[in-house]
Structure 1
Amino acid sequence: MLFNDKVVIVTGGGSGIGKAAAKRFLEEGAKVVINGRRENVLKETMKELDPSGEKVDYVAGDISVKATGAALVQKAVDTFGGVDVLVCNTGIFNPTGFLEHGEDDLNNYLDAIVKGTFFPAQAAIPEMQKRGGGAIVSTGSMWAIQSVEATPSAAYSAAMAGRHTLTRNLAVEFAKDNIRVNAVAPAVIETPIYNTFMSEEQVAEVLPTFNEFHPLGRNGQPVDVAEAILYLASDKASFITGVILPVDGGVTARLR
């Protein structure tokens, strides 16, 4: 198994891409600590992924707060003995025109995405150093690479570009410690994030219209991104760091 006896932290792990990644890490032998704001969701996910409760734990809290990242890492250390992999997967998304963004709105994107990468990494890296290395994989976004007219997302894209830049900077700074830092950049992935600004009926109507947006002819599923995350976190990618990997069904290939 790729992650036998490894300890993995997944932020935004209660649903969508984070939940799919946590599931795959468990299937590959890891022990996992998940994070999110909603404790009830985390408890349900933990029971679903590991009914025994022996291989999964959780910490509920706002990951943009430094103390939450510290508590998450401490939980991994206390429960499972350390940290080998950190997956920074938090994010919010609501297409909004640039002139319609308010100050609080912008701060929410920066909190969830930039601070939600910065502070957990600060807490996790010292524990990885103790173990002789590790891997950080963040969920970035195709929107930080390519603008999409149908979904104006200046604040989201700027925050995700910050996550991409953190990825490259940390990759260079901590290469000497054998800590690899990469990110995936998904296009349209069918996750519950769309239900935060559309009704169930709207989601069912709108999401299929994006299938042809991707050269491969379909929207992505959470497991598509999860598999890329696992690859970048695994020893199979031992010579890969500082990479932003598009997981976008070919969308950004049009740029080249």
Structure 2
Amino acid sequence: MSLKDKVVLITGGGSGIGADAAQAFYSAGAKVVLNGRREDMLSQTAQKIDPTGKDIAYVVGDIGRAETSSLVASLAVEKFGGVDILFNNAGVFQPKPFLEHTQTDLDGYLNLLRGYFLMSQAAIKAMQKRGGGAIINIGSMWAFNAIAATPCSGSSTAKGGVHALTVNLAIEFASANIRVNAIAPAVVETPLFDGLLTSEQLAAFNTFHPLGRNGQAKDITEAVLFLADHDRSGWITGTILPVDGGVAAGRN
């Protein structure tokens, strides 16, 4: 693995996929900077991963605000010497019929897209000084396939933007040795679904996936580690990788 001593930024790092990825990067020898909106969750995750605080740090705030994204990158440079990897993982998801979406709903989704954009800007500036890097964005299976049972036009509009951002940055910064890829998950059992679905409702989605089960955080983490590791994926950029239990292959 080429992740030892790499400096990794993770948005949405307080729980779920972000926290799982943070633990995996740390275990691989990387130094990690977490971001999220809740200090209690970030602090708890950071303490659990590295009680000494030597190889982990966090920044509380909304990456949809330029000052927050800049602060995440600048803290990584100040504490760890630079930025090598960005995992844009922050997410919001609430299935809702199109005509019931409010402007506030849409603003929230587009703010998330803005956050991926601004966080990528801040990270790339630091990566250029290191001679390269890798960005992994979380997109969505729903940006490829609309599912009648889960209408989510607001979220899918933003995630479609994430997919477009991914391929555009991949081409623009290929000559700078900065690889940009995205992962498009289907249903992954994380706190993102807390309050949206009961455990029984969530379990009902198992059969939606051809492989017969919902995803787990570790399924996404393994793909993130692969795309972040130059030794294993150094000739891959501009890819939107479905990690979805087979949903993209066709209807089950």
TM-score (norm 1): 0.96
Residue equivalent to 1:87: 87
Q: What is the CA distance between 1:91 and its match in structure 2?
A: 1.1
C-alpha distance after superposition, 1:150-186 (max 9, x if no partner): 1000000010000010000000000010000000000
Percent of aligned pairs with the same amino acid: 54
How far apart are the structure 1 equivalents of 2:16 and 2:221? 10
In structure 2, distance between residues paired with 1:148 and 1:45: 33
Residue 182 of structure 2 corresponds to residue 187 of structure 1: no
The AA in structure 2 aligned to 1:89 is: N
Unaligned residue ranges in structure 2 (runs of 5+): none
2:215 counterpart residue number:
220
SS of aligned partner of 2:99: helix
Q: Could you report, residue by residue, the CA deviation over 1:31-53 in whole angstroms, capped at 9, with x for unpaired residues?
A: 00000000111000000111121
Give the match for residue 238 of structure 2: 242
After superposition, residues 123-134 of structure 1 pair within 5 angstroms as 123-134=122-133
Match of 1:14 in 2: 14
Matched ranges for 1:1-256 at <5 A: 1-112=1-112, 114-198=113-197, 202=198, 204-235=199-230, 236-254=232-250
Distance 1:184 1:138 in 2: 6
Distance 1:196 1:77 in 2: 37
Query: What per-residue deviation string (whole Å, max 9, x for no partner) do you get for residues 101-160 of structure 1?
Result: 111110101102x11210001111011011100000011110111111110000000100
Residues in 2 aligned to 1:90 and 1:238: alpha-carbon distance in whole angstroms: 25
Q: Which runs of 4+ in 1 moved over 6 A?
A: none
Instruction: Give the letter for the 1:157 counterpart.
Output: S
Cα offset, 1:2, TM superposition:
3.1
- Aligned-partner Cα distance in 2 for 1:148–1:47: 39
Number of equivalences: 250
Paired with 2:75 and 2:17, the residues of 1 have a C-alpha distance of 22
TM-superposed CA distance for 1:197, in Å, is 3.0
Q: Secondary structure at the match of 1:4?
A: coil
User: Deviations for 1:195-252, whole angstroms, at most 9, x for unmatched residues?
Assistant: 1434xxx2x1111100010111000000100110110111110000000000000001
SS of alignment partner, residue 205 of structure 2: helix
Uncovered stretches (5+) of structure 1, i.e. residues with no partner: none
- Which amino acid in the other structure matches residue 227 of structure 1? E
Q: Provide the C-alpha distance between the structure 2 equivalents of 1:92 and 1:210, rounded to a whole number of angstroms.
A: 19
Q: Does the Cα contact within 8 Å between 1:219 and 1:249 map onto a contact in 2?
A: yes
Q: Is the 8 A contact 1:2 1:29 kept in 2?
A: no
